[in-house]
A and B are shown apart, each in its own frame.
Chain A
């Protein structure tokens, strides 16, 4: 799906001087404040246990999660693979720190509000006629969680640490970015299953 070549620093290993160290934050400090606000609102929504706030967080978070996965894996990934190497490095240093904050936030908001919503509506009870679909969504989300937490998130953080080094290793970045983009693609495809299940649940 994507060919990700080594960034310019790969050439540095074979002779030319190292490129200047890239200046970026692995975890953007300003973004942490936004994450904190979202988390406080999410906790308030769960504590309040009212339909609208829970539905808002579940739908908005789920839409963000699904769209990001689909867009990153199936649209942006192939585009990144065809970009020039300096452009790709610059794009990566701007995109990946934001992903460190955005993805855990939308995933936490979606799942926490979704569980509370299903508890409130009773759809997670084994007596519910929708129970089979709910369990199917647990399984899809479970597989996605293992992939995202085990492969995608570590690659995201590791590529940023590599880019921070005085002489980043192009081969390492290439390997990690491939892992990230392929994983996002698989998650994007799995999101289609989530869409099927959730629209089915919303239609009954």
Chain B
């Protein structure tokens, strides 16, 4: 099987997710004490930066199956936005406010974007038939 050379998209995506998860654990393990937000902010920025670099590197891959990528990503995004909204609802239900709420909300946004891109990349990297209409449905 001949294969196009790709950047380490999955590895970087998992790193971005791991940074978000560590930030979430850091914040949630301090409740309800006052928690210094610096480390959580740094982890969030690092995660978002890794995700941005990852997508930028992918954009440079010639001939990448972007139609397939977007087709899968939009449905996965809908699903993961729903789960992110559920988590956000739980935070609001528990009266989380202020800095921790902002950081956790932004972390959820990164999560809701990162996971669909990982799924979409894994599908699109093996795509050979983007123009095949029978391949276009998720059902």
Contact = CB atoms under 8 A, between A and B. Distances in A.
Interface in B89-139: 89-90, 93-94, 115, 118-119, 121-123, 126-129, 132, 134-135, 137-139
The interface residues of chain B, by DSSP majority, are classed as helix
B69 to A, nearest CB: 12
Interface in A139-174: 139, 142, 145-146, 149-151, 153-155, 157-158, 161-162, 164-166, 169, 171-172
A46 B129 contact: no
B32 interface: yes
A92 interface: no
B90 A142 contact: no
Given A126-B29, A142-B21, A142-B24, A153 B134 contact: no
Contacts of B119: 153-154, 157-158
A84 interface: no
Interface size class of B (residues with CB under 8 A): 35 or more
Interface string A41-63: 01100110100000000000000
Nearest to A113: B90
B41 interface: no
A27 B123 contact: no
Given A150-B10, A165-B132, A108 B86 contact: yes
Contacts of A28: 139
Contacts of B24: 138, 142
A115 B25 contact: no
Main secondary structure of the interface of A (DSSP, over half): helix
A124 B28 CA distance: 8
B89 A46 contact: yes
Nearest to A157: B119
B79 interface: yes
**Interface band, chain A:** 35 or more
Given A153-B119, A165-B128, 16 more contacts: A26-B137, A28-B139, A49-B93, A112-B90, A125-B32, A142-B18, A146-B14, A150-B13, A150-B17, A157-B119, A158-B119, A158-B123, A161-B127, A166-B129, A166-B134, A172-B1
Given A29-B139, A142-B22, A158 B126 contact: yes
